[in-house]
Structure 1
Amino acid sequence: MMHTNHSSSDQSDTTDTARIARAEASVHVFTELMPDAFEQSAGRDGPLKDKVLSVKDLFDLTGKITRAGSPILEETRPASKDAIAVERLRAAGARLIGRTTMTELAYSGLGLNPHDGTPDNPLFPNHIPGGSTSGGAVSIATNLADIALGSDTGGSLRIPAAFCGLVGFKPTQSSVPLTGAIPLSDSLDSVGPIARDVATCAAAWQVMAGLPVTDLPQKRPELVVPINFGLTDLDPAVASSFSALREELIAAGWKIREASLPVLDTYGTLPVWQFSAFESLRRFKDKLVTHGSKMDPRVRQRMERGTEISEAEFASTLTQRAELIAAFRTEIGDALVLLPTVAIKPPHFDDVATDEGFSRLNLLALRNTSLANVMDGCSVSLPFGQGDALIGAMLTSFNGQDEVVLSAALAMESDLAND
């Protein structure tokens, strides 16, 4: 049930020229292609030798202006060096092909960008790819790249991975330096990869975290499905597939228990929206004043909500978050939380055309994934099912448990592929 239908056209990309030509023909996937850098990097030794790398538009690249998908940053100075994550991936042999489209300033889970355009979902034509790492996910799903470097503030790696049938990994925030990446929320931002399989995500994370690249073992820890979070308002197809997922895992020998976790009831009282609104406004306030009219109105409006929050209120929110982080670690223990990555299927473009539809679906898209960001944890989304039954299966734990989560994901990937 693991299998998803990706384009097989990568098999025909026997030359760099062919791959670049296909990338040039793609629509709204890249904001900039770098054929010279791509061709010159062939054959460099390293654990990621010849893996094709796409980079979200919010990471610094030497000599380039970092726009983060926004016209308000078009006049900033070119970067003097690569972001640390980019530098480490390239040093490990990854070959940079180009920069990918994203939601403006990474501020939504749906992936829309009115300035650069929004790529179509390769698996569900005329449906959104998810965001904010929209172009990155599509670059993997169409086999234009092997590793997409992205960011995840509330689900921006895992949502597009789920919508496009891929693996997305949000690491522990502190494990990968954010230096050289345009922040949205200093509290919640994480840097991580999207790929077609868990092993590639694991290797990319190890490289970005400055760790030796080693094969992780397959492990099957206990899974807990929280009955008081993440399971309401599910699309019927998501609910059905998640039920099938649980049955297949139990048949493969996994122990899954249901539990009501008190920390998740408290989590429901936390104003999660404050993190991105308050922290992005603090960073971009001057730009908002001078260039706000150029922004995607939906992004601007959410950022402007930061004016409603006092310093004292935000300090209180940070304190409440710290208490939740401690409680989360205690309550889940050695288990991993299992949930559908996203409550909904990829919306049709028409469904997000109105502000009401956009807001409602954006909140639902981000609901389950945001948990890991607020809890300062780590989380991976795996594809499960085929066609209309495709969903993301998400494993989440507390900070520092990256290898545990990835080892479980490797086992799950194996079990679901061999059912």
Structure 2
Amino acid sequence: MAYQKPWSPETAESRLAEVMERVNSGAPELRSVFTETFFDRAQDQVSKLDETANSPLCGALVSVKDLFDVEGFVTRAGSRILADQPPATSDAPPIKLLREAGAILIGHTNMTELAYSGLGINPHFGTPDNALASGRIPGGSTSGGAISVAQGIADITIGTDTGGSLRIPAAFNGIVGFKPTQDSVSRRGCKALSQSLDSVGPMARSVEACEITYRVMTGGETDNSKNLQPEFIMPVNFGLDDLDPVVAKAFEQAVSKISDAGYAVVVKNLACLERYKEIPVWQFAAIESRTEYDAFYNSTPELFDPRVLSRLQRADGIDAVSYRKTLNARDTFIDAYQQEVGNRVLLLPTTPILAPELSTFDDDEEYYRLNLLTLRNPTLGNVLNGCSISLPFKSGAETIGIMLTAPGGFDHSLLEAANVCEGALS
């Protein structure tokens, strides 16, 4: 059955008006979702939609993580350090492609400062409320983007994913989050957390909406010829320990449904994942974010969230030789993974836990412990330079994320598999 888009050029004007009314009313469920809205320019975009009416994205309402340049607006990266920077003079390339395809850009969304956490907490612009369970964290770092979609403000949101920043908030809020192969979508015009691990991708309420968006952002220049085997691997030696009992039970149910949909699910020990565990993954963001923001780190350290500042400080303890060894270890792991896993899909819960209560993070030790646990499973896909997607699965009163991960370059085949699994899980 053909995908029924919830947007169209004909309804864009009325839908935008409804969104503007909801956001401007100060509805509590939309608290701290945006750092800035683009409503005046969005109305102007709507008035010109006839020129792009043939695009599959024409009339879609799209929110944009506050890491991307949008012409005429300041890119703050969720931080006070960039508040006084001049407005962008042009759109980041993927944002430009979306605009040209008739997407209506409605605002910059809130995020963890500098994208440096998987929790979505921001002391400067506030923390958005979880869309499924008020009082819980939204997940991050693309926190406001996830809430804008889950609360029906945006059809699609554009974010980045360095260790799960699209897939974690998708899992915590019951939507779809897709992390593409890194180089398939341009990262120019986007503030970097880690040049090694950052990817640009969408979140939406369906796999199909993510796929349409992904095709537009790539400019249609991706390889569709790589196909995955219809076999999923559950690795016994990674990602399945320390599961919340609710997550464990729901994941077991989801695996059964995926198997019933025709996919072979194999439980297997993967030797390559023992290599992965030896990589000090934290070094990528520590070194590379410090490089990106070093001038501000030295001139105005007091403007940073102290928890982000402490992570930037960790770069001081890494010498050049150690970091080169980390980069080499990553290359060795990627080779080993491709040899052992090939063109099969890794199947895991997106996160081992449910979204915790925001009040839990008053304690610094809990903040760091739960951040690492939340990031653990999805970060694998970034270090692999793979493609990965989180699908929502509701079990009883709770919704978890089911994550499918494939090697780099299999994006289209992974989206096809995710489409089938989405139907099975719903």
TM-score (norm 1): 0.94
Structure 2 counterpart of 1:340: 349
SS at match of 1:258: strand
Contact 1:220/1:411, CA 8 A, preserved across alignment: no
Change (3 A) 1:317 1:78: same
2:392 is the counterpart of 1:383: yes
* 1:410 alignment partner AA: N
Candidates 411, 419, 423, aligned match of 1:402: 411
Measure, in 2, the Cα distance between the counterparts of 1:396 and 1:72: 35
Residue 29 of structure 1 is matched in structure 2 by: 33
Separation (CA, whole Å) in 2 of partners of 1:388 and 1:303: 38
1:306 aligns with 2:315: yes
Cα deviation digits, residues 77-108 of structure 1 (max 9, x gap): 32110011110111111100111000000000
1-structure distance, mates of 2:221, 2:280 = 38
Residue 126 of structure 2 aligns with which residue?
A: 117
Give distance in 1, aligned partners of 2:224 and 2:265: 26
Secondary structure of 2:397 counterpart: helix
Contact 2:112 2:141 in 1 (8 A): yes
Aligned pair partner of 1:151 in 140, 160, 167 = 160
The residue that corresponds to 2:97 in the other structure is 88
Bigger RCO (CA 8 Å, 6+ sep):
1
Match for residue 42 of structure 2 among 38, 58, 75: 38
Contact conserved, 1:158 with 1:168, CA < 8 A, in 2? yes
More off after superposition, 369-378 vs 66-75: 66-75
Report whether the alignment pairs 1:412 with 2:421: yes
Q: 1:76 deviation in Å?
A: 2.2
Pick aligned residue for 1:174 from 164, 170, 183: 183
TM-score by length of 2: 0.92
Q: CA deviation at 1:342?
A: 0.4
Q: Which of 73, 83, 103 is equivalent to 2:82?
A: 73
Q: Which moved more, 1:83-92 or 1:21-30?
A: 21-30
Question: Amino acid of the residue matched to residue 286 of structure 2?
Answer: A
Distance in 2 separating the partners of 1:86 and 1:15: 21
Query: Aligned partners of 1:381 and 1:319: how far apart in 2?
Result: 28
Equivalent in the alignment of 1:204: 213
Q: Is the 8 A contact 1:220 1:408 kept in 2?
A: no
Equivalent residue number for residue 138 of structure 2 = 129
Residue 5 of structure 2 aligns with which residue? none
Counterpart Cα distance in 1 of 2:400 and 2:87: 39
State the aligned residue count.
407
| Aligned partner letter, 1:228 | N
Residue range with higher mean Cα deviation, 250-259 or 228-237: 250-259
Unaligned runs of 5+ in 2: 1-10
1:201-280, aligned counterparts within 5 Å? 201-211=210-220, 221-280=230-289
Q: Does 1:366 align with 2:375?
A: yes
CA contact (8 A) 1:237 1:388 kept: no
Closer, same or farther: CA 213–274 of 1 in aligned 2, 3 Å: closer
What is the alpha-carbon distance in structure 2 between the residues aligned to residue 340 and residue 235 of structure 1? Answer: 11
The root-mean-square deviation of aligned C-alpha atoms, in Å, is 2.1
Q: What is the percentage of aligned positions where both structures have the same residue?
A: 47
- Which residue number corresponds to residue 292 of structure 1? 301
**Larger displacement relative to structure 2 (407-416 or 366-375):** 407-416
Instruction: Provide structure 1 residue ranges, at least 5 long, that are not aligned to the other structure.
Output: 1-10
Correspondence for 1:20: 20
